[in-house]
Amino acid sequence: MYKKILLAYNGSLSGQKALLDSGGLAAWGQASLHLVAVMPLNLNTVVAEGIVYSMQEEKNQRQAFQKILDEGLAILAQHGYQATGELLSGDAIHEICACAKRISADLVVVGHKHKKGWVERWWSGSISKSLIEESPCSVLVSIV
């Protein structure tokens, strides 16, 4: 039985489905639920002279990802689930796996939407596929 569930949440439709799936799973198994949103570190703006770091862009991006996290926690609370939340920064796979290790999660839940064609699948990569390879614990992929 799972005791500590980590949900990687990005606000997408597949993420929202995973959110509710993990809430139900946590309630069923009386597990604690930890919600994370991961803000990528692509905060640079390219200009003719080179790369410029934008503190305002970082602030805007941080606020946007915090809003996603807060909305996820609110949705869980509306459905009667208790969860803690955390905003992470960096590579999604690395940060999710590091958090899973740090909190001793025994399940990571992530949403996934099937890509339409092979070019889209090849070009975009897959967080859920990479998590299956890198995660220190079991991974549940909730598919829309």
Three-state SS at 135: coil
Domain boundaries, the chain: 4-116+128-143
Provide the CATH number for the domain formed by 4-116+128-143 in this structure.
Answer: 3.40.50.620
Q: Which pLDDT value is given to residue 130? A: 86
Confidence of residue 121 (pLDDT cuts 50, 70, 90): very low
* Amino acid at position 76, single letter: L
Number of neighbouring beta carbons within 10 Å of residue 22: 30
pTM above 0.85, yes or no: no
Per residue in 21-61, pLDDT (tens digit) is 888 888 888 999 999 999 987 645 555 555 556 778 888 89
